[in-house]
A and B are shown apart, each in its own frame.
Chain A
Amino acid sequence: MKLLYRIGCASLLSLGLISSAQAETPRAAWHAQIGHGYSQLAAATSELEKTADSYCAAPSPASMQALKEQWLSAFSAWQAVRFVGFGPIEENTRAWKFQFWPDPKNLTASKVDYWLNGDKDITADAISRDSVAIQGFPAVEYLLYDERIIDTDKALPAERSCNLLTAISSNLDANANALNTDWTALEERYLSVEDYDNGTLQSAMQSLELLADWRLAAPIGERGNGKPNPYVADAWRSGQSLNTVHASLQGLSDYFVPGLTLLLAENDQMTLAEQFNQQLNKTLDHFEQLPADIAPLMETEEGRKSLKALLEDVNTTKTMLTGPVSAALSVVRGFNSSDGD
C-alpha cells in the first residue's frame, strides 16, 4: 500500500498537477491520506491484538515470531502518522498512549514491573486508566525484548505477562479505532477551516525537527554535548531504531507530501514542490543501504559515516520545509510545546 502511494504521488507529479489540483484541494488530500494512515494503524493494532491472543493461547517460537513481526508492523504504522500533532490525536494525550517518548528514566520498565509484580487484576480498562507509559507500543516491546525480563520467570508466556500483553494490545487497538473514527468525523470541519493548512504544515515541520534533532542526531552524538545517547532513539530494545525513522519519513512522503504538492501548486511553486519531493526521496533512498538499527552502525567508522550522511539529508529536508517551503506558503509559527528546555 505504501508503494502504491509513492507511485501515486510520483505520477501526480509527472502528469502535471494543475488538473488534479482542480479536482482535489490540498486539505481534501491531507484528510484522505492521513485518514488512510489512521485506518492502516487501526488495522495493524487489531491484528496485533489477535496475534497476542493467539500467542498466549498457544505459545511457540513461531507464534512469538509472528507476534514480534506484528508488533513492528503496528509500531511502524504509528510512526507513519506520527507527524500529525493536531486534531483528535491531541485529545486525551493519545499520542503518548501510543508511544510515551522520550523516556529517559525508563518509566516504561517501572510501570510494567509494577503491574507484573503486583496482584491487581490486569484488564484493558485498568491499563487505560494508568500511566501513559504502560499503554503504548514501548511497553509491549519491553515485554517482548527487554533483557530485564526475557531471561526471568516473568518472561512471556508467564500468566501475568500474557495478561498484560493482551490488555495493552487491546487498549492500543481501542485507541487506534477511536482515533480513526474521530478523524473521519473531523472531515467537514477540517475541510472548511482554512487555518488547518497552517496547522498541518506546522505539524509536519515540528515532527521533522524532532526526527532530525532528537530521533537521529541525539542517538548518534551529533547534538548537544556530542555523547551518543542510544536511549533517545525509538525502539532501541528491539533494535529497530532506523526502521522507525524510515517509517516516519515514508509516512511524510505518503500522507503529507501529496497535499503539500497541491498547495504549492496553488501558489505557483511547482519547482519548489519538485525540489522538496526530490530531497525527501533522496533521503529515503539511504535506507536501502542501511540496517534496521542505529547501534551496529555506531561500531564502525564506515557505519558512523553512513549515519551522518543520512542525518545530513534529513537536515536538508527539514531546512527546506521550515525555510523556503514555509516562506512560500506564509506559514505562521507560534509557540509550540517544545519551546521549553
Chain B
Amino acid sequence: MAVRFPLQALALAISTSFLLTACSDENKTAQPDAPEQAATAPSESAEKPTTDSTVSPEAVVSHYADLAHATFEDALITAKALDAATDALIENPTAENLAAAKQAWLAARVPYQQSEVFRFGNAVIDDWEGQLNAWPLDEGLIDYVKAEGYQHALGNDGANANIIANTELNIGGETMDLSTLTPDLLASLNEVGGSEANVATGYHAIEFLLWGQDMHGFAAGAGERPASDYAKGDDCTNGHCDRRAAYLDAVTDLLVTDLQWMVGQWSADTEGNYRAEFVAIEPQVAYQKMLFGMGSLSLGELAGERMKVALEANSYEDEHDCFSDNTHNSHYYNGKGIQNVYTGTYLRVDGTELTGASLSDLVANNDAQLDQKLTAELDSTMAALGEMKTRAEASENPVKFDMMIAPDNAEGAKVINDAIAALVEQTGSIEKVAAIVGVDSLQPDDAGHSF
C-alpha cells in the first residue's frame, strides 16, 4: 500500500546509471568510495563457472514459488509463536512475559522481512500486505501517546482517536462502535477517515503495543511500555488495560489468519490458488515479477523510503521499526530476501536450507560475467547491511538506526550511505539481468494482469 509518496531524489533510473553520483552529502559524511557504475567490468575473467547443463524455465519459476511458500510459512510459524507469547502476556502480565513477547515479535520479523521481495511484482501480495506491514503509522489512533514529540500526519483526523480508550469513534461524519475489539473491526479501521497513517493492524501496531512510543529521539533507547499496561484491576497503568489486552489479542490473531491465507496462496497442494496461476504464466512474465520485486525493494523502497528519507531529513519519524529500534534487522532481512530470490536459496527458521533452480543459474548460462557481478553485488549489500546490524547490536555502545540518522553523525551516515550505494548498484545489474532473461520492460503490468 502506498504509505508515503514517490521520491525523486534517488536515482531516477538505473538504466542510465552513468548519470548517477554517490548520493551522500559531503557535509554529513566522507564520500564512500564512489561506486563505479555500469562501466566497470568485474575483475574475474568471463570464464563460465557452471556446467553446461541448462536450467529449465519451469524449474526456476516453480522454485521461486517454493521460496515464497517457505518464507510465508516461516512467517506464519513465527507469528503463531508471537500469538502464543502475547496470549501469555495477557494472561500473566509480567516483565518476563513482556520480554518474551518482544523476542517473539523480533523473531517473527526475520522471515516476514525476507518475504517482502515477493511484493511489487505479485499483486496478490501488495493487495494484502498493508494490513500486515503498513508504515509509518500515527500510533495515537491505537493507544495513549505523549503529545510532546508525537508528530502525526497532517490532516489525519484519526491521529488521536485512541481506540483503546474509546468505545466509539467519530470520524468523517461517521460514528463507529468500538465496544468489542475483534480482528474484523480492527481491520476495518485501517485508513479510517481516509488517512493512510491510520494503521490499526499488523506488525507495527503490535510493535507499538509491546514497546510503546520511543521518546528518546536520536539518543539511545527504544519504547519503554511497562508490562503493567496489561495488568488487571488497580495495577493497570495508563488505563484501559482490559481493552489494550483485547486489542493485542485480536491483532495477533488477525496476523496469524492473514498469513495462513497467504501460505495457502503459494501452496503446491491447493487448486486454483495464486501459485497455480503463477506457474502457468509465460516464464518471461514470471521473471519480470521476480526482478521487479527485487529491483523495487532494492531501490525505491529500501534504499529510498526506508533509509534515504530518514537519513537526509534526519527524521526518526521515518524510521521503519521506530518503537523497537529493530530497524537494522528489518533492513538486513529485506536485503537477504533479495539475495534469496536471485540465488534460489532460503535458510528456514528451523535451520534447514532450501535450494533449487534460480535466476542465477539462468543468467550464468547466458552471461556468466553478469551473474558473477550481481552475485558479488548482493554479497556487498549484505556486508553493508551486516555492518549496520553489527553496529546496532554491539554489546558496547550500540548505535541503532535512529542514532545513525542524527544530524552530525558522520559515521552513522556513512554506514547508511554505504548500504544505499550497494543497493543502487545491484539494482543496475538487476536491470541488466532483465534483458538477459528476455524481459522487455520492467514497468509493472498493473493493467489487466492483476491476479
Residues in A whose Cβ lies below 8 Å from that of B1? 341
Please tell me if the beta carbons of A106 and B6 are within 8 angstroms of each other in the complex.
no
Q: Does B407 contact A (CB under 8 A)?
A: yes
A6 to B410, alpha carbons, bound, how many Å? 46
A226 to B180, alpha carbons, bound, how many Å? 28
Please tell me if the beta carbons of A224 and B2 are within 8 angstroms of each other in the complex.
yes
Q: Does A1 contact B (CB under 8 A)?
A: no
Known A-B contacts A107-B315, A131-B407, A341-B1; A202 and B299 likewise in contact (beta carbons under 8 Å): no
A336 to B317, alpha carbons, bound, how many Å? 24
Number of contact residues on B: which range applies? 35 or more
Interface centre among A90, A104, A105 (most CB of B within 10 A): A104
Residues in B whose Cβ lies below 8 Å from that of A95? 8-9
Please tell me if the beta carbons of A199 and B16 are within 8 angstroms of each other in the complex.
yes
Interface centre among B151, B154, B444 (most CB of A within 10 A): B154
A129 to B298, alpha carbons, bound, how many Å? 27
Within 8 A of B (CB), among A260-308: none
Choose one: B3, B155, B193; the contact of A341 (CB below 8 Å): B3
Surface stretch bound by B, among A30-38, A157-165, A203-211: A203-211
Please tell me if the beta carbons of A333 and B443 are within 8 angstroms of each other in the complex.
yes
Q: Does B91 contact A (CB under 8 A)?
A: no
Q: Does B342 contact A (CB under 8 A)?
A: no
Q: Does B197 contact A (CB under 8 A)?
A: yes
Choose one: A132, A196, A226, A341; the contact of B19 (CB below 8 Å): A196
> What distance in Å separates the Cβ of B338 from its nearest Cβ neighbour in chain A?
13
Please tell me if the beta carbons of B295 and A104 are within 8 angstroms of each other in the complex.
no
Please tell me if the beta carbons of A231 and B155 are within 8 angstroms of each other in the complex.
yes
A111 to B407, alpha carbons, bound, how many Å? 11
Please tell me if the beta carbons of B430 and A335 are within 8 angstroms of each other in the complex.
yes
Please tell me if the beta carbons of A90 and B195 are within 8 angstroms of each other in the complex.
no
Interface string of B416-451 (1 = CB under 8 A from A): 000000000001001100000000011110000000
Interface string of A183-196 (1 = CB under 8 A from B): 00000000001011
Please tell me if the beta carbons of A104 and B154 are within 8 angstroms of each other in the complex.
yes
Residues in A whose Cβ lies below 8 Å from that of B8? 85, 95, 206-207, 210, 337-338
Residues in B whose Cβ lies below 8 Å from that of A335? 13-15, 295-296, 298-300, 427, 430-431, 442
Interface string of B293-335 (1 = CB under 8 A from A): 0011111111111001000111101100000000000000000
A292 to B439, alpha carbons, bound, how many Å? 45
A225 to B154, alpha carbons, bound, how many Å? 16
Please tell me if the beta carbons of A131 and B313 are within 8 angstroms of each other in the complex.
yes
A130 to B25, alpha carbons, bound, how many Å? 11
Known A-B contacts A105-B152, A227-B195, A231-B155; A337 and B12 likewise in contact (beta carbons under 8 Å): yes
Please tell me if the beta carbons of B152 and A202 are within 8 angstroms of each other in the complex.
no
Please tell me if the beta carbons of B19 and A86 are within 8 angstroms of each other in the complex.
yes
Known A-B contacts A105-B152, A336-B11; A129 and B28 likewise in contact (beta carbons under 8 Å): yes
Interface centre among A105, A111, A132, A334 (most CB of B within 10 A): A334
Interface centre among A106, A129, A132, A339 (most CB of B within 10 A): A339
Residues in B whose Cβ lies below 8 Å from that of A93? 9, 23, 25, 308, 312
Residues in A whose Cβ lies below 8 Å from that of B53? none
Please tell me if the beta carbons of A132 and B442 are within 8 angstroms of each other in the complex.
no
Q: Does A229 contact B (CB under 8 A)?
A: yes
A195 to B20, alpha carbons, bound, how many Å? 12
Known A-B contacts A96-B312, A225-B191, A341-B2; A333 and B441 likewise in contact (beta carbons under 8 Å): yes
Please tell me if the beta carbons of B12 and A206 are within 8 angstroms of each other in the complex.
yes
A-B contacts, 23 listed (Cβ < 8 Å): A86-B16, A90-B12, A102-B4, A103-B154, A105-B136, A105-B154, A131-B312, A131-B407, A195-B16, A195-B18, A198-B15, A199-B13, A206-B12, A214-B6, A227-B195, A231-B154, A334-B13, A335-B298, A335-B431, A337-B10, A337-B299, A338-B7, A341-B300
B-side residues, CB < 8 A to A, are 1-16, 18-21, 23-28, 120, 136, 151-155, 172, 191, 193-197, 292, 295-305, 308, 312-315, 317-318, 407-408, 427, 430-431, 441-444
Q: Beyond A133-B313, A339-B299, list 6 extra A-B contacts (CB 8 Å).
A: A104-B153, A106-B154, A224-B2, A224-B196, A335-B431, A340-B300
